[in-house]
Amino acid sequence: MADRVVLAYSGGLDTSVCIGWIAEQTGAEVIAVAVDVGQGGEDLEVIRQRALDCGAVEAEVADASEEFAADFCMPAIAANALYMDRYPLVSALSRPLIVKHLVAAAKKHGATTVGHGCTGKGNDQVRFEVGTAALAPEMKVVAPVRDMAMTRDKAIAFAEAKGLPIDVNKKSPYSIDQNVWGRAVETGYLEDIWNAPGEDVYSYTQDPSVPREADELVITFEAGVPVAFDGRRVTPLQAIQELNTRAGAQGVGRLDMVEDRLVGIKSREVYEAPGAIALITAHQELENVTVERDLARFKRQVDQRWGELVYDGLWFSPLKNALDTFLAEANAPVSGDVRLKMHAGRAWVTGRRSEGSLYSFDLATYDEGDTFDQSLAKGFVELWGLPSRIASARDQRLAGGAQ
């Protein structure tokens, strides 16, 4: 039996060419695996058939949208995951799920190698290969675009020579990756970081400068997970999809940033993630109401580190797994309602309530009914500032003696 390679298959030019390329270069049989994480576009059956027509001995397609929303996007909400405080990990979250399906298919079909179509400049090569190593250390990896110098011109020539059933002439000016959590756009004229993105860049969001009525809804969370909109129960996938539509219609979630890639270069990326930004905004505010101060302060550090680990391809790492346990515990009290308003490219909270609220009107009010004993504050301030007072007196004494 020939060696087998399980290839992460998107249905596009590069991965379609990779099927025959790998077979010619290695003599292995190629099994294509396409995973739907809510990216829309072509029917999965069409993609499966294209893989077979391009030379795959077998092709599998998996509708993993529900799994992606529940097991990958919901933990990202729990962590308020925003890389560099802005990017909601659109591509980074989907890669470990794809790896999981790749490895499962490899074991099912007796493959010794997994393959991907990533370049050597991006983060995805790391995410695919490190994820594979974590789940199946014995697996080898093949990356034709990176390791076999498979340029776009060579890919087009190969497709034409082999008569592959793909459109090799139509070329978008952008490189686009999308799923239900958001959409990432790069390359083309966007590589000049002075150029402003035009409206043709966007698909998930409407122009926020166009006048329209604001949209408002109440999001109910249970232990950090959104479970209802205006009292109507929703699944994780439905929550994201509905807010992609509603927040997207308000132009919420557009991001234009220069980010630090794992490989050490800076890259200009344009993102649109309306559902992700709206849900994280609401979740953060409910945490403000329900999470104790010191836990909240420490959690902000955990949130940042969790996001960095996921961005860096370490979803299956011991540290990331341990932080998941912390985040689950920290989110245990994060239940209640958040009223969210969306308009003109912004999403902001206008109300919050929770049975587990730590906010006390009687302690916070400055009006009649105040139960806070202000007489205690004087001594507190004295003791709180004592170390600084002592250090300052010492520094002044030493400075005076040095003159």
> What one-character DSSP code corresponds to residue 57?
S
The residue-averaged pLDDT of 77-92 equals 97
The residue-averaged pLDDT of 213-219 equals 98
- Which of 163, 236, 12, 328 has its CA nearest to residue 32? 12
Q: For residues 237 and 279, is the Cβ–Cβ distance under 8 A?
A: no
How many Cα atoms occupy the beta-carbon half-sphere of 144 within 13 Å? Answer: 30
The residue-averaged pLDDT of 93-119 equals 96
**What is the model's pLDDT at position 218?**
98
Summarised one tens digit per residue, pLDDT across range 316-359 is 999 999 999 999 999 999 999 999 999 999 999 999 999 999 99
- The domain limits of the chain are 4-171, 176-291+333-353, 361-402
Q: Which residue out of 124, 177, 312, 337 is catalytically annotated?
A: 124
Which residue in this structure is represented by tokens 């009107």? 361
Question: Could you tell me the pTM of the whole model?
Answer: 0.94
Does the pLDDT at position 147 exceed 90?
no
Distance CA 276, CA 243 (A): 8
Binding region: 8-16, 87, 117, 119, 123-124, 127, 175, 259, 271
Question: Candidates 1.20.5.470, 1.10.4160.10, 3.40.50.300, 3.10.20.30; correct CATH number of 361-402?
Answer: 1.20.5.470
- HEC letters along 334-391: CCEEEEEEEECCEEEEEEEECCCCCCCHHHHCCCCCCCCCCHHHHHHHHHHCHHHHHH
Summarised one tens digit per residue, pLDDT across range 366-387 is 988 889 999 999 999 999 999 9
Q: Which CATH class is domain 176-291+333-353?
A: alpha beta
**What is the model's pLDDT at position 2?**
77
Q: For residues 269 and 257, is the Cβ–Cβ distance under 8 A?
A: yes
Summarised one tens digit per residue, pLDDT across range 15-58 is 999 999 898 888 999 999 999 999 987 788 999 999 999 999 99
**What is the model's pLDDT at position 369?**
84
Q: For residues 64 and 73, is the Cβ–Cβ distance under 8 A?
A: no
Q: What type of residue is 39?
A: Q
Q: Which residue out of 175, 317, 354, 357 is catalytically annotated?
A: 175
Q: Which residue out of 4, 14, 177, 335 is catalytically annotated?
A: 14
Q: Which CATH class is domain 4-171?
A: alpha beta
Binding region for L-citrulline: 87, 123, 127, 175, 259, 271
**What is the model's pLDDT at position 254?**
98
**What is the model's pLDDT at position 155?**
80
Q: Which residue out of 4, 95, 183, 352 is catalytically annotated?
A: 95
353, two tokens: 């309530």
Torsion angle in degrees (nearest 10) through CA of 328, 330, 333, 337: -90
Q: What type of residue is 104?
A: A
Candidate from 12-16, 101-105, 274-278 with smallest mean pLDDT: 12-16
Where would I find the beta strands (DSSP E) of 223-317? 225-229, 232-233, 254-260, 266-272
183, two tokens: 């959409």
Sign of the alpha-carbon dihedral angle for 83, 354, 333, 288: positive
Which residue in this structure is represented by tokens 């993609």? 47
Summarised one tens digit per residue, pLDDT across range 230-286 is 999 999 999 999 999 999 999 999 999 999 999 999 999 999 999 999 999 999 999
Q: Containing H/E element for 15?
A: helix 13-26
For residue 324, indicate whether it is catalytic: no
**What is the model's pLDDT at position 166?**
75
31, two tokens: 């099994």
- Which of 171, 144, 175 has its CA nearest to residue 21? 144
Does the pLDDT at position 145 exceed 60?
yes
Does the pLDDT at position 162 exceed 80?
no
Q: Which long-range contacts (CB under 8 A, 24 or more apart) does 90-93 make?
A: 90/177, 90/178, 90/179, 90/181, 90/182, 90/183, 90/184, 90/271, 90/273, 90/276, 91/123, 91/124, 91/177, 91/179, 91/184, 92/123, 92/127, 92/310, 92/311, 92/313, 93/68, 93/179, 93/181, 93/310
Distance CA 138, CA 229 (A): 45
For residue 175, indicate whether it is catalytic: yes
**What is the model's pLDDT at position 171?**
63
For residue 317, indicate whether it is catalytic: no
The residue-averaged pLDDT of 194-208 equals 97
> What one-character DSSP code corresponds to residue 73?
I
Name the phi and psi angles at 159, rounded to 5. Answer: -65, -40
Strands of the sheet containing 175-179, edge to edge, are: 175-179, 182-186, 266-272, 254-260
Q: For residues 222 and 305, is the Cβ–Cβ distance under 8 A?
A: no
Confidence band for 403, pLDDT divided at 50, 70 and 90: low
What is the rounded average pLDDT for all residues in the chain? 94
Binding region for ATP: 8-16, 117
Q: What percent of the chain has pLDDT over 70?
A: 98
